[in-house]
Amino acid sequence: MTAETIVTPADCEVAPQGVRCMVMRGGTSKGAYFVANELPKDPDERDSLLARIMGSPDPRQIDGIGGAHPLTSKVAVVSLSTDPGADVDYLFLQVGVDDGLVSNRQNCGNLLAAVGQFALERGLTSASGPQARVRIRMLNAGSSDTGVTVTGSVATATFPLDGDGPVYEGETAISGVPGTAAEVRLDFEDIAGSACGALLPTGGITNVIDGVEVTCVDNGMPTVVLRATDLGIAGDEEPGTLEANTPFRERLESLRLQAGEMMNLGNVSTTTVPKMTLVSLPRADGDICTRTFIPHRCHDAIGVLGAVSVATALRIPGGTGAELLRPGAEPDLVSIEHPTGIFVARVEIGDGHNGPAVGHAGIIRTARKLFDGLVFPPSAALPRTPH
């Protein structure tokens, strides 16, 4: 048995006293939250440290605090904003479970749901009264290697407060999370084209790739929307059933690689965007049924900005799968069925100079502080687990 060891210069530089870290549930994801200046400044050093903290690369992340799934192997890095129009800056980093790669190429609207509370907990911003409103600039924008330049957009998080800080207890339930917690409202500004440079980055409402019609959209998350039946599935299968269907997954990945090039994302073979959302007729009380690949695992629910992007594609006249929406659905709301329930996204679409334009977009989440303390990463990179 051989094990390949990834060694970087940062491997010897871990403070033996630990690294300050808060673990929070944001929406249907869970992640480690850090203040930016408590991590190494150098991105390579920072990423090496974060991979070790999460326990990657290892399918079980047994030597770290990651949860062995993309939805629980996430990091939020928060700092005072350098933009006078925002309170704090939020950088999302996805830590690859199996490969240990740390990527800033996508945003995460679920971890975003706890950024406001984290910023108050760490004294990065302040608020008083019954509610906090924290303006969060989202730093994950277009990647420099594709030539697309996109500026960070802003989300406002609104959540309850008491004299001691954020209130986490509450009566709001969201699908995919047991019990209830305090409501966090997220309102988005200027998220269209967040990573691809345009709401419809291919220039068209639909495209045909290998005979399959798709809508490629980026309203906060680069996403490809396609009809489940066009890929020979019903669309309401369990995630595990779809993940086990190798020919289907190979076809989906081939479409994704081609769509990535068309969406200005370049070669997406090692990136987590675009996401792939298969749509079909609603089965429960929603307007549309979905299964989303993020992009290799099937999501147990649907991402926040992913849901906003899917709702946008379906609300654009002629968008792929728009005809599958439940007749009579409310114009600005889309109730998206997913494997563990329903996600309601509000998106207003109007006419812009060059086609459809997005007005307000917003969603409701909950978030909770789970743990606050010090995390102790190993000082050397983990050997890659042999497969």
User: Using CB under 6 A as the criterion, what x/- string covers residues 249-278 for binding ligand NQM?
Assistant: -----------------------x--x---
- Cβ of residue 194: shortest distance to ligand NQM, in angstroms? 10
Q: Taking Cα atoms as reference points, which of 8, 84, 76, 87 lies closest to residue 38?
A: 76
Task: State which of residues 23, 54, 199, 304 lies at the interface with ligand NQM (CB under 6 A).
Answer: 304
Of 70 and 116, nearer to ligand NQM (C-beta) is: 70
Q: Which of 254, 133, 128 is nearest to 186 (CA)?
A: 133
71 is an interface residue for ligand NQM by CB under 6 A: yes
Euclidean distance between the first and final Cα of the chain, in Å? 10
Q: Which of 281, 305, 324, 347 binds ligand NQM (CB under 6 A)?
A: 305
Q: Which is nearer to ligand NQM, 49 or 95 (CB)?
A: 95
**Selected binder of ligand NQM within 205, 209, 221, 347 (CB under 6 A):** 221
Q: What is the largest CA-CA distance in the chain?
A: 61
- Asked if 303 is part of the footprint of ligand NQM (rule: CB under 6 A), the reply reads yes
CA distance 70 to 68: 7
* Nearest approach, Cβ of residue 301 and ligand NQM (Å): 7
| 210: three-class secondary structure by DSSP | coil
Residue 132 or 221 with smaller CB distance to ligand NQM? 221
Provide, rounded to whole angstroms, the least separation between the CB of residue 113 and ligand NQM: 8
- CA–CA separation, 12 and 1 (whole Å): 26
Cβ atoms of 215 and 319 within 8 Å: the answer is: yes
Site map 26..65 versus ligand NQM, x via CB under 6 A: --xx------------------------------------
Burial class (CB in 10 A: 0-12, 13-18, 19+), 340: middle
**What is the C-alpha separation between 373 and 184, in angstroms, rounded?**
24
* Residue 361 token pair: 């977009």
CB atoms within 10 A of CB 77: 22
Q: Which residue is nearest to ligand NQM (CB)?
A: 303
What is the rounded distance in angstroms from the CA atom of residue 54 to the CA atom of residue 245?
29
Stretch that binds ligand NQM, among 33-41, 56-64, 200-208, 303-311 (CB under 6 A): 303-311
- Measured from the CB atom, the residue of 282 and 295 that comes closer to ligand NQM is 295
Smallest distance, ligand NQM to C-beta of residue 163, A: 31
- What's the Cα-to-Cα distance from 4 to each of 366, 381, 383, rounded to whole Å? 40, 10, 6
Instruction: Answer yes or no: are the C-beta atoms of 352 and 99 closer than 8 Å.
Output: no
In the region spanning residues 92 to 151, those forming contacts with ligand NQM, defined by CB under 6 A, are: 107-110
Map residues 150-189 to x or -, x wherever contact with ligand NQM holds by CB under 6 A. ----------------------------------------
CA dihedral 320, 324, 330, 334 (to 10 degrees): -60
Question: Which residue ranges make up the site for ligand NQM (CB under 6 A)?
Answer: 28-29, 70-71, 107-110, 221, 272, 275, 294, 303-306
